[in-house]
Amino acid sequence: MVAYSGEARSKFLEAIKKVKNGGIKEEVEQLIEEANTSLNLAHNSQTKLLAKEAEGEEIDLGFIFVHGRDHLMITILLKDILEFLMDIYKS
């Protein structure tokens, strides 16, 4: 979860920089697509753990899980901000 979220975050930040600097639309879209793929993998990792716990399996939630969850939530917020910024720069 941490690695996938971190990868998505890096791609979203790179896309934001390209949008800000008037980057080529196709390059920005490619970065966003790659970031979304990693973000989905991170989200799926979290969902698998939640499903196991919902099925009654005892899940030991350590610091790495909490850290991964933080990464995931921040990356989802960054995605939302990127979409908002893209609308602004298109105007």
Encoded amino acid at 55, one letter: E
Whether 67 is catalytic is yes
Q: Could you tell me the CA-to-CA distances from 69 to 16, 38, 77 in Å, in that order?
A: 22, 14, 12
Both ends of the chain: CA-CA distance in Å?
A: 35
Q: Which among 29, 67, 73, 84 is annotated as catalytic?
A: 67
Comparing CA positions, the residue from 77, 83, 84 lying closest to residue 39 is 77
Tell me the catalytic residues.
67
